[in-house]
Structure 1
Amino acid sequence: MDVYRASKSRSQNRKGWYVTFRHPLRKDATGKVGLKVRRGLGTADDQEADLLVKQMNELLLDDTLWSIHAKSRARSLYDERVIAAFYEDLEPMQMTDLKAVRERELPYPRREEDYNQIRFTGGHERYEGLRQLLGLADEPFLQSNAIHAPHYELEWIACDSPTYEAVVTFLPFEKTKAYMEECVIKAAISYACDGGDHELARHFLQHEHEPFALRQLIGTTPAFYVTRFTATQPNVSVNEQVQEYIEIIRSQALQVRERLMETHDFTEKQFTYPTDDVLLAFEETWRGEIEFTLLIDALMEEVEKRFHSLPQGRWTYTSEEWPECWRFQAKDPNVTLRILSILTSQDESKCGKLLTPLVEGIRVRGSFSGRKGIFTVGPEKTDRVLSTNTMKGIDQSHTLVWVQETKRDSYDHMLPTLRYLISTGQIEKLHLCMHGDESEEWQRHAGQALEILLNDVKRELGWTAYSQAERQILRNSLYFSVEEVYERTIHTIEEYELLSVHPIYTNMMLSLIVKDACDAFYQKLETQDGLREKALCRRFAELGEDEYGGMKPQALMFTTLTETFYRSFFTQPSGWSHEDLTNDKREKAIAAICMHFSKALRTYLQANVCHQQIAEWQGAYGRNGKNANKKRAQDLNGIFEEVLPSSHRLIDQPKCVKHLYGLMKEAIESSGGILLS
């Protein structure tokens, strides 16, 4: 039996001690038992820390206590801090809701105080709307372009306050470590597969699929800026420490490559054109090297030093002794804005001294421009399927302002958001603000582009969707100034009322509708390379997330179901309780049903795709060795089939139809509709 030992260490910017040890029951990414964990001891006293480490070592030597069922017995023997450090890792990890942390530190005004929550969306122009309302056009941390769009959630509480307060939440320890490991792995793979120094530097210093720029935290190298289009290196000084990291990756990449060619009979050609078998074998071997662990530990320690750059404020920490949030206040707004600029800088000349990649969210409260409200901007992407976080941000807002350049040739990037608002009954939140040239020519151009967009809506969701969107955009909510939007919506916080209009439905077509949704989901579900599928499994299994690298299975499932039910069922009632109803009343009644259904469906999918199948996600992530990629793909298919089976298996899993029928029935009846069985 392996001997597991614990040791104590001190955080870079803390007096308190934390314990590190390899867990005898938890597996790392290579499938080997002995995952390295880190937990705070809650003390700055050396002797007390030594006593706790001694207790942990005793626990690690007693394998009769290595079970969640032995937790109560261990409690009678050891300090509660030791119990928490060891047994917490035997239960499914629940990532901290960092928005809830910001709410705890700096809460939103109460609803009865009549604060409208306005969310700005769109491309990088969405920050223009926030700047205009707050009168902060020159603030660098609110500047955005297509290349350097902020990756964090920004929340601004504009109120009558004598002080200016801010709370900043940071990426969790495990998520930061995951990003770093993926950068190191991809850098080594790219070099081993003949990518050269510039590919190694590019993947090491900038995450391939996430907005995590490691170069901003540890420094950069000229090779990062070299591309296949230009071989000239810019005037960037060589960072010796970064160069040392790169040398380690380079030498280890070649050693792992040679070993795989010997043990797996891989050829030079297979590394030049790598398959999933090559990529996954390389990752598994590289992760198992002690040099990999030492490199990640060194990088995490170096990154942790960046928190020293913040001025005095109030810190809170996680159980790993990792900064969770930082709060400060000032009487001078310029001081607040200057500190926020330090936190969110994208200045390439300051690489190695920035904290930007670790910022997860910012909430500010203060008096700006004499306006009152809650204004938010999120890290949204213009993908065909919105992320779950983007959907939640829209749901929580009272008003959604899409800021759009008038001179754009196409507005089709608006389509996913528009489809979401319609299919979830929230289209009345939308206000469109055109930014840029306001001449008659460009206003006419905007109208034509919007008409093309509305025709796309009609093609995908039907005539009712077209009617709803057309009325909301072209008649009610097309503006050329965010001030107009603000004045129009500042006093329009409304709850949906139960209408005295009753759509009547029959459930005869439900099985066919569910079959259509199943077919659509599996047609849209794209197969990805083995590394990305494994990284997706890690998000579900360990990081409390549901997407990676463009893969959004839970969001795709939600979108497919809501749009299918909207198009094929909710907008097709068998009749109405009154015949002389206006289209407006009919559409509002349908919107109320869609809103109830979408809320219930989100809860259902969160429970059934994530929480209830956490063991399946962990098993899929832990796949290694021969045929691991094929088995992982089967695992993923099994997870999805459990919730939304493929159409040919629906007859064998009637519980899917039963669950969806229950959600649909509750949504219709709670909104005043009638469902005939």
Structure 2
Amino acid sequence: MKNTFTASVRENPGRQFLVVEFRHPLRNDTNNRRGKKIRKGLGTADRSEAEMLVEQLNHVLRDESLWSVGALPEAIRRGFDPRVIEIFYADIEPTSRKAKTMREQVLPFPDRSSGYSRILLIGVPGSGKTSLDRQLMGSQSERDAFPPTSVNRTTTFPIETIFRPGNYAAAVTFLSEHETRFEIEESVSAAILRATTDNFERTAKDFLEQSDMRFRLKYILGDYKPEETNDQDPYDDPNQDDFIEDCGFEDDERRKDQEKIEIFVNRIWTLAREYRTKVESEFGNLDSMEADHRSAALDLIQTEAESADEYTSIVSDILEEIRERFNSVTVGKYEKTTTGWPRSWYLDTRDRTEFFTTLRFFAGIASTRWGHLLTPLVNGIRVSGPFQPSWSITIPKFVVIDTEGLGHKADASADLPDHLISMFNEVDSIILVHSAKNAMDFSVGKALEALVSAGQTKKTVIAFTHMDAVHGPNLKGRAKYEHAFNNLRNIVENQLAKSLPSEVIRFVTDHLERNVFYLGKINEVKPEPAYPELRRLANRLESAAPTLRRVIAFPKYNMDHLVLSIREAAESFRLPWRARLGLDILPQVSPCPWQSIKAMTRRYAEGFDDGYRLRPVSNLLTNLNVAVSRFLETPTSWDGEATNEEKRDIVDHIKAVVTDSLAELSVRRLREQPQPQWQTAYGYSGRGTTRDRRDTVESIYSRWVPIPTGVGNVDAEQFLEDVKSKVVAAIDNVRSEVEVQRAQ
């Protein structure tokens, strides 16, 4: 049957540029039907130019030989306009643009041989991680307010800081237009679900802030506050938190923002109520349904609403409103796509005040700036400048990478994100920051487990913050330091001991005793009581660059034992996921709501990795790393004589190499290869779809992460061979390095 995909030019009311509207043959809609409706800016207001571009796009839509990522070079060869190429192909590429690469191109890290230490900061929200970053930078709350800090979730993208003399420079990268549309759709869909059963104000709240508190439309569009709302806080302390400047935004601007938000929420409300009425006319009153039927009805209401033309129109109008907000920044330079969407922004200046003031558009969180912030659209910031701590007489040779807080979302699993684990080999020190006033929880133990399993023990540093807030009748003098470290020791000797050999636990404990730092008052500009410990930490970080050790011995392994480790990893991945899917019962694992499973399948179906709380790739990588680490810790013998420290170095080196390989394997097996099955799982709608989606997800896991048994199974054999080949290759690579050293 001949395809009928056609593009057409559309006016964009109230906007300068024209848009194109078409159904994309390579993207399914929410009903899993071929041809998702796409609306994109053409980057021109000229009607004849727009018609020319749309005719080229229609040529692509008529020629099915061009309907694949592999056909992109042919489309370029035929001379299609770059805007047409981007409109059709950008959304179907298997991986997103490499934002880190873009930042590296305009503001590169110093070479590792130049004496710079690269430092990774990790920790749970509220641990003081970003406050420590500020101390290292010499950043002041009243003057700089960068990086931003808050009691709740603040850092949602990496902030990379290069300490060096010269000008102040910044490179900011953004979500793509497609990624931004995805996040808007998530916000609108959540609001539709809320509007179906709740009031207008709660609908506005869900629209303006996603439940995981990462993508906040209220930062960009402004907040919604009903006139009768009492916004006074009886516990408000005007002297607390960061300096909040008068941003110069007029009440009239805020009133207009409020009116626009009300219009958007009214449209969402009307759409949700329309489709609730339609579904109830067929299946009965929503409020009187049993739980399973009610869930299916809500899913159907949401799905039908998402298929409506009005839904596409709402999302597109919000996207255009957001596009205009980029114009708020008039200094620096944007690099844009051919359709006008910003990829990155760059600034180079001698003026420190201008530098930090401008950065607030991209990293700020202050409520006085809501409606004028671009923070939710940012996926990374890199800054460079003469940053110097108040307690140092020189500019340290540091590159500091601040990351999103562990457990930043109420995770079904505390496993570290796979992208974070992949950064371990790129840095010289990893500081695990924890507030001494809080007990260490399971997520901290999982972080330590990931570090040790990845061969990164010697890079690990512990920084206890808020030591000034540790109080108690039994905590005087050194007792509070012992209290903090015993908290850490408890995690190591109990939680980690369940997955690591006893000799490894002893090594980890000994290392941490020598690499722990106790800090207090670091939220202050000049925390003088902490100066000695901060200087000791800086000295540790400056000497962190790894030294090459001559290796004269190498471990020997029985690969039959590796098969048992791989089986163990597969079981450790599959069994908790069966419980999350509601297929089995595990006491420590709760079934995930149907909305969460659907949201996860959408991200894997469309190739997005936006840090959503359900992360099967991260779960698989963690379980493989832990199991393979145990295998590598127990060689059958050693080829040559070596001290315990030399043995530790070589085993950790192998584990570090293996981790990179297993990270690639996990992404390939659970994200890339089964993408069509993820599309099927996401596409279900109507009664019984919760069960269908659950079963399809389980079938994906069964196919790509099978549990090996004694019975012959092609999928299991391929999985075993895939993992085994990665481990063997890593061992062989490190062995080759050793042989080269021996020959010298």
- TM-score normalised according to structure 2 size: 0.81
Matched, 1:217 2:279: no
Amino acid at match of 1:201: A
Amino acid at match of 1:140: A
Amino acid at match of 1:462: P
Question: CA contact under 8 A between 1:279 and 1:531: conserved in structure 2?
Answer: no
Question: CA contact under 8 A between 1:464 and 1:571: conserved in structure 2?
Answer: no
Q: 2:732 aligns with which of 666, 669, 677?
A: 669
Query: Structure 1 residues 73-82 or 478-487, which shifts more?
Result: 73-82
Q: Describe the SS at the equivalent of 2:660.
A: helix
Report the CA distance shift for 1:365/1:44 in structure 2 as closer, same or farther (over 3 A).
farther
Give the structure 2 partner of residue 502 of structure 1. Answer: 554
Give the structure 1 partner of residue 343 of structure 2. Answer: 324
| Aligned mates of 1:334, 1:248 — CA distance in 2 | 42
Give the structure 2 partner of residue 385 of structure 1. Answer: 415
Report the CA distance shift for 1:537/1:92 in structure 2 as closer, same or farther (over 3 A).
farther
Matches within 5 A, 1:341-420: 341-369=360-388, 370-382=395-407, 384-410=414-440, 412-420=442-450
Question: CA contact under 8 A between 2:75 and 2:85: conserved in structure 1?
Answer: no
Give the structure 1 partner of residue 170 of structure 2. Answer: 166
Q: Describe the SS at the equivalent of 1:362.
A: strand
Give the structure 2 partner of residue 592 of structure 1. Answer: 653
Q: Describe the SS at the equivalent of 1:381.
A: coil
| Aligned mates of 2:447, 2:100 — CA distance in 1 | 22
Give the structure 2 partner of residue 145 of structure 1. Answer: 150
Report the CA distance shift for 1:633/1:18 in structure 2 as closer, same or farther (over 3 A).
same
1:155 Cα shift? 0.6
1:99 Cα shift? 0.9
| Aligned mates of 1:86, 1:12 — CA distance in 2 | 22
Give the structure 1 partner of residue 136 of structure 2. Answer: 133
Q: Describe the SS at the equivalent of 2:499.
A: helix
Q: 1:157 aligns with which of 159, 162, 174?
A: 162
Amino acid at match of 2:668: A
Question: CA contact under 8 A between 2:296 and 2:686: conserved in structure 1?
Answer: no
Query: Structure 1 residues 267-276 or 400-409, which shifts more?
Result: 267-276
Q: Describe the SS at the equivalent of 2:415.
A: coil
| Aligned mates of 1:247, 1:645 — CA distance in 2 | 48
Matches within 5 A, 1:175-574: 175-193=179-197, 195-222=198-225, 239-265=258-284, 267-270=286-289, 275-369=294-388, 370-382=395-407, 384-410=414-440, 412-437=442-467, 439-455=477-493, 456-478=495-517, 480=519, 481-494=533-546, 497=549, 499-525=551-577, 526-527=580-581, 528-545=592-609, 548=612, 550-567=613-630, 569-574=631-636
1:248 Cα shift? 1.7
| Aligned mates of 1:597, 1:460 — CA distance in 2 | 18
1:646 Cα shift? 2.9
Amino acid at match of 2:118: Q
Report the CA distance shift for 1:11/1:120 in structure 2 as closer, same or farther (over 3 A).
farther
Question: CA contact under 8 A between 2:7 and 2:23: conserved in structure 1?
Answer: yes
| Aligned mates of 2:733, 2:534 — CA distance in 1 | 36
| Aligned mates of 1:381, 1:224 — CA distance in 2 | 37
Matched, 1:4 2:6: yes
Question: CA contact under 8 A between 1:167 and 1:328: conserved in structure 2?
Answer: yes
1:206 Cα shift? 0.6
Report the CA distance shift for 1:413/1:612 in structure 2 as closer, same or farther (over 3 A).
closer
Question: CA contact under 8 A between 1:181 and 1:296: conserved in structure 2?
Answer: yes
| Aligned mates of 1:171, 1:475 — CA distance in 2 | 41
| Aligned mates of 1:650, 1:210 — CA distance in 2 | 46
| Aligned mates of 1:515, 1:224 — CA distance in 2 | 60
Report the CA distance shift for 1:433/1:77 in structure 2 as closer, same or farther (over 3 A).
closer
Question: CA contact under 8 A between 1:536 and 1:547: conserved in structure 2?
Answer: no
Once the two structures are superposed, what CA deviation does each residue of 1:36-57 show, in whole Å capped at 9, x if it has no partner?
3356767786644432223334
Query: Structure 1 residues 150-159 or 441-450, which shifts more?
Result: 441-450
Aligned length: 661
Amino acid at match of 1:442: K
| Aligned mates of 1:334, 1:71 — CA distance in 2 | 45
Q: Describe the SS at the equivalent of 2:362.
A: helix
| Aligned mates of 1:320, 1:495 — CA distance in 2 | 48
Question: CA contact under 8 A between 1:154 and 1:378: conserved in structure 2?
Answer: yes
1:672 Cα shift? 3.2
Report the CA distance shift for 1:137/1:74 in structure 2 as closer, same or farther (over 3 A).
closer
1:315 Cα shift? 1.1
| Aligned mates of 1:100, 1:267 — CA distance in 2 | 49
1:260 Cα shift? 0.7
| Aligned mates of 2:14, 2:331 — CA distance in 1 | 15
Report the CA distance shift for 1:199/1:418 in structure 2 as closer, same or farther (over 3 A).
same
Amino acid at match of 1:35: K
| Aligned mates of 2:41, 2:272 — CA distance in 1 | 34
| Aligned mates of 2:259, 2:182 — CA distance in 1 | 24
Query: Structure 1 residues 76-85 or 502-511, which shifts more?
Result: 76-85
Amino acid at match of 1:644: V
Question: CA contact under 8 A between 1:536 and 1:546: conserved in structure 2?
Answer: no
Q: Describe the SS at the equivalent of 1:400.
A: strand
| Aligned mates of 1:64, 1:422 — CA distance in 2 | 50
| Aligned mates of 1:90, 1:476 — CA distance in 2 | 46
| Aligned mates of 2:206, 2:227 — CA distance in 1 | 9
Q: Describe the SS at the equivalent of 2:659.
A: helix
Once the two structures are superposed, what CA deviation does each residue of 1:151-197 show, in whole Å capped at 9, x if it has no partner?
12101111121x1111111122122211211211122212212x223
Q: Describe the SS at the equivalent of 1:363.
A: strand
Question: CA contact under 8 A between 2:460 and 2:515: conserved in structure 1?
Answer: no
Query: Structure 1 residues 148-157 or 312-321, which shifts more?
Result: 312-321
Once the two structures are superposed, what CA deviation does each residue of 1:495-552 show, in whole Å capped at 9, x if it has no partner?
665622222221233332222212111122222333322222222232442752x211
Give the structure 2 partner of residue 575 of structure 1. Answer: 637
Question: CA contact under 8 A between 1:183 and 1:207: conserved in structure 2?
Answer: yes
1:116 Cα shift? 0.9
1:281 Cα shift? 0.9
1:76 Cα shift? 8.7
| Aligned mates of 1:225, 1:599 — CA distance in 2 | 55
Report the CA distance shift for 1:416/1:434 in structure 2 as closer, same or farther (over 3 A).
same
Report the CA distance shift for 1:285/1:271 in structure 2 as closer, same or farther (over 3 A).
farther
Q: Describe the SS at the equivalent of 1:222.
A: coil
Give the structure 2 partner of residue 605 of structure 1. Answer: 666
1:146 Cα shift? 3.2
Q: Describe the SS at the equivalent of 2:684.
A: coil
Give the structure 1 partner of residue 98 of structure 2. Answer: 97
Matched, 1:658 2:721: yes
Report the CA distance shift for 1:647/1:366 in structure 2 as closer, same or farther (over 3 A).
same
| Aligned mates of 2:45, 2:437 — CA distance in 1 | 59
Q: Which runs of 5+ in 2 are unaligned?
A: 234-250, 389-394, 469-476, 520-532, 582-591, 738-744
Cα RMSD (Å): 3.3
Question: CA contact under 8 A between 1:168 and 1:326: conserved in structure 2?
Answer: yes
Amino acid at match of 1:499: V
Give the structure 1 partner of residue 696 of structure 2. Answer: 635
| Aligned mates of 1:498, 1:560 — CA distance in 2 | 31
